[in-house]
């Protein structure tokens, strides 16, 4: 299981924006109690909490009132989302779970259903890598790939 230490705070920011989006889509832009409850969790965030250059902007939400949303808020959400994706990617790339998942997925399409080592001969190795890349949908620019 993936555990991201110290990252629930940016999720509060994303949650508040999700609630704002739902208000525009389902409530005609009027604030709900649920959105009003989400606002305090996001309003107290600092740049240190979200890893940004400045404190994120979240307009206060009060139940029943029309909500406003600025490009600045959208930009803050995009920045937080990108940082979360980078963090998740970094956590996954260094976890044994990710390694096991990659290995199982990679070996599942193997013709023998098991791991095979690459040949030591450089030409045959390049051909094998090109063949693997074609099978998983990666582009290979190896001109010797036709005979693997």
pTM reported for the whole predicted model: 0.51
**In the predicted model, what is the mean pLDDT of residues 78-85?**
82
Q: How many helices (H) and strands (E) does the chain have?
A: 6, 0
* 86/47 Cα distance (integer angstroms): 17
pLDDT digits (tens, 9 = 90+) for 122-133: 898 888 888 877
pLDDT digits (tens, 9 = 90+) for 7-17: 467 788 888 88
Domain positions in the chain: 8-93, 100-147
List the Cα angle 90/94/98 in 5-degree steps. 100
Residues 6+ apart with CB under 8 A from 67: 20, 23, 24, 29, 30, 31, 35, 59, 61
């Amino acid at each position: 299981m993936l555990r991201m230490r110290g990252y629930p705070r940016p999720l509060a920011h994303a949650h508040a924006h999700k609630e704002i989006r739902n208000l525009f889509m389902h409530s005609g832009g009027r604030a709900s109690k649920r959105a009003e409850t989400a606002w305090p969790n996001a309003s107290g965030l600092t740049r240190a909490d979200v890893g940004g250059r400045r404190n994120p902007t979240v307009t206060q939400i009060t139940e029943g009132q029309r909500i406003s949303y600025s490009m600045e808020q959208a930009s803050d959400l995009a920045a937080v989302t990108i940082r979360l994706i980078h963090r998740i990617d970094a956590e996954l790339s260094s976890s044994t779970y990710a390694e096991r998942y990659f290995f199982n997925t990679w070996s599942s399409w193997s013709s023998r259903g098991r791991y095979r080592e690459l040949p030591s001969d450089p030409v045959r190795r390049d051909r094998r890598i090109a063949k693997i890349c074609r099978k998983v949908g990666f582009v290979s620019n190896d001109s010797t790939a036709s005979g693997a």
